[in-house]
Chains A and B, each alone.
Chain A
Amino acid sequence: MNLEQAMEVRQQKILAALENKDTSVYFKDALDNEMVLNMGPQHPATHGVLRLLIKLDGETVAACVPELGYLHRGYEKLAENCSYHEFIPHTDRLDYLSPLMNNTAYVLAVEKLVGIEAPKRAQYIRTIISEMARVSSHLLGIGALAMDVGALTVFTWTFREREKMYDIFELLTGARFTTSFTRVGGLAHDMTPDVITAVKEFFDQFPEKFNECITMLNTNRIFVERLDGVGVISKEKAIAMGMSGPNLRAVGVDCDIRKTQPYLIYNELDFSIPVFNDGDCLSRYYVRLNEVKESVKIIRQCLEKMPAGSVHANEPKKVLPRKEQVYTRMEELIHDFMLINFGVNPPVGEVYHAVEASKGELGFYIQSRGEGHPWRLKIRSPSFMNLQSTSMLVEGGMISDIVAVLGSLDPVMGEADK
């Protein structure tokens, strides 16, 4: 048998085998079968360890179930077992993109419980660092959103600006991310003149660089069309679902705690609240973009108006004394001993204090029994409540829009998982 004949025999055998097979299985509609897709927890577009279980009908999302808890460290349990001061470093790890804002929010809640107020200069510095944290967080939010929908360059540009800002944070607090800068009744230390110069210099060059970034995005047709009309939520639903921050202002609710229930020195400053009405991903992006500009305005006003003076409240039994005084004076040594060993001991009661953090309403609910540590501390984290609407936003849309929706919601899992 030569090669040709052998090939012929083989072909016949294959044909016979195929004809004997049952080939009656066919799809009426290729999109008619549903598939379950697991997205995360290790997925770059989920901004951390968020896991989404998605039921797909073709390319359309039929259902979506978010799963949390992959970063749960039990901070509320830890808070019940450490003193009010000891919990400040833990707040760095909540929203790890704006640690200074969390420090401020936490000490404001404790100060409300204790019934003291930080001096004016400390409040100005707290406002400056909060707004800087907001700018840095929004820069990451905008950059990561652009990267998720395919515009890679802007991500590196916003990160360049963030890097300069983290140099300032390092100069100010000694750490880039784990800042722990605030104290009950004041700050760890004053803002030195070289930090003020660095902040001024940074914000002198920043608007131009930021305009470059947003011009790049706003004139990018692919970027705009991938966000426009995607992930829409109505005003009533957004309020009912407990959305807050830029996500709530993107549905046309003019609700910002800095204006509605002012804390720190926000009622002395001139700034506006950007509100957009469409409730889609593009509106959420526009709100963040305009908030950055307002934050720059706020920081400039604060630097101008900042008074001189101490950054520690004159409440020796509640505020940690300066180290050099602890070493040289009797009274301060006693207060330091009492505050470290027994804590602040606020009166029996409960408070809830919320601030407008970069992600939304960050609140601390504290129950005190007059002891040095909280009896119960609840963190109302904005990312947790914003993520609740994820399934509502992505259901009925395309699978590729999920990353756009997640990027525009801008969740941080350190905060959502606590």
Chain B
Amino acid sequence: MLTAVVEKLKTKFPNDVISSNEFRGETTVHAKKENIVAVCRFLCDDESSLFDYCTDICGADAYTPENRFEVIYNLYSTRLNHRIRVKVFIDESDLHCPSVISVWAGANWPERETFDMFGIIFDGHDDLRRMYMPEEFEYHPLRKDFPMMGIPDSIPLPRK
């Protein structure tokens, strides 16, 4: 569907785009995390893609020894009316990922949420606090090794 955009991205960033696939009419591009800001900047500015609207940023935990985490960018173009999904892999040994706030100011809170839920540290984010959980909470709840019932005593309850 978005073959022109993907091909242009591949020729522009031959070393950074790992793969691309299509499922149910949606295009997904895998990229390397080191250069993700430049990839996003290109997708935002190039006249054939113009992804000026960052719909959502979220994380996912594949629970594999390598490339355990993913950061997923769901993008939309208000001017050309198309969607794309960009993904980067994050290894558990190096939880850092460059922040894309410089491209879309609205990436602020979604990145904070991803940090809260998965513990991925976005370099360049100036206000990387937890979004939902209390600041002193030690865990990252959406990781697969966090039990659904929670960890007893991890959140202090108010005294009676």
Contacts and interface: CB of A to CB of B under 8 A. Distances in A.
10 contacts: A69-B131, A76-B117, A77-B146, A242-B106, A352-B85, A363-B55, A367-B60, A378-B56, A385-B110, A388-B108
Nearest to A418: B132
A240 interface: yes
A255 B81 CA distance: 9
Interface in B80-111: 81, 83, 85, 104-106, 108-110
B35 interface: no
A266 to B, nearest CB: 15
A276 interface: no
Interface string B42-75: 0000000000111110101100000000001010
Given A112-B24, A349-B24, A242 B53 contact: yes
B135 to A, nearest CB: 10
B132 A351 contact: no
Interface in A306-355: 349-352, 354
Contacts, number: 88
Contacts of B56: 352, 363, 365, 378, 380
B128 to A, nearest CB: 14
Interface in A229-266: 237, 239-243, 253, 255, 260-261
A152 interface: no
Nearest to B74: A352
Interface of B: 23-24, 26, 28, 52-56, 58, 60-61, 72, 74, 78, 81, 83, 85, 104-106, 108-110, 117, 130-134, 141-142, 146, 148
A351 B105 contact: no
Contacts of B110: 242, 385
Nearest to A241: B106
B27 to A, nearest CB: 11
A174 interface: no
Given A240-B104, A380-B56, A380-B74, A385 B81 contact: no
Contacts of A384: 109
A401 interface: no
Interface residues of A, number: 40
Closest 3 CB pairs of A and B: A242-B106, A69-B132, A72-B132
A260 B74 contact: no
Given A241-B105, A351-B26, 8 more contacts: A77-B141, A77-B146, A78-B148, A81-B148, A242-B104, A351-B24, A363-B55, A378-B58
Nearest to A384: B109
Interface of A: 68-69, 72, 74, 76-78, 80-81, 112-113, 115, 237, 239-243, 253, 255, 260-261, 349-352, 354, 361, 363, 365, 367, 375-376, 378, 380, 384-385, 388, 417-418
Given A239-B78, A242-B53, A349-B23, A74 B141 contact: yes
A76 B148 contact: no
A113 B24 CA distance: 7
B52 A239 contact: yes
B133 A242 contact: no
B55 A242 contact: yes
Contacts of B55: 242, 352, 354, 361, 363, 380
A81 B147 CA distance: 10
Nearest to B23: A349
A69 B105 contact: no
Given A81-B148, A349-B23, A365 B58 contact: yes
Given A239-B53, A363-B56, A365-B56, A417 B74 contact: no
B69 to A, nearest CB: 11
Contacts of B146: 77
A323 B132 CA distance: 40
Nearest to B133: A69
A80 B78 CA distance: 31
A378 B70 CA distance: 13
A112 B25 CA distance: 10
Given A69-B131, A240-B52, A242-B104, A350 B23 contact: yes
Nearest to B103: A240
A58 to B, nearest CB: 26
B60 A363 contact: no
Contacts of B52: 239-240
B74 A365 contact: yes
Contact of A385 (B58, B106, B131): B106
Contacts of B131: 68-69
A182 B52 CA distance: 33
A376 B61 contact: yes
Given A239-B78, A242-B54, A352-B83, A388 B106 contact: yes
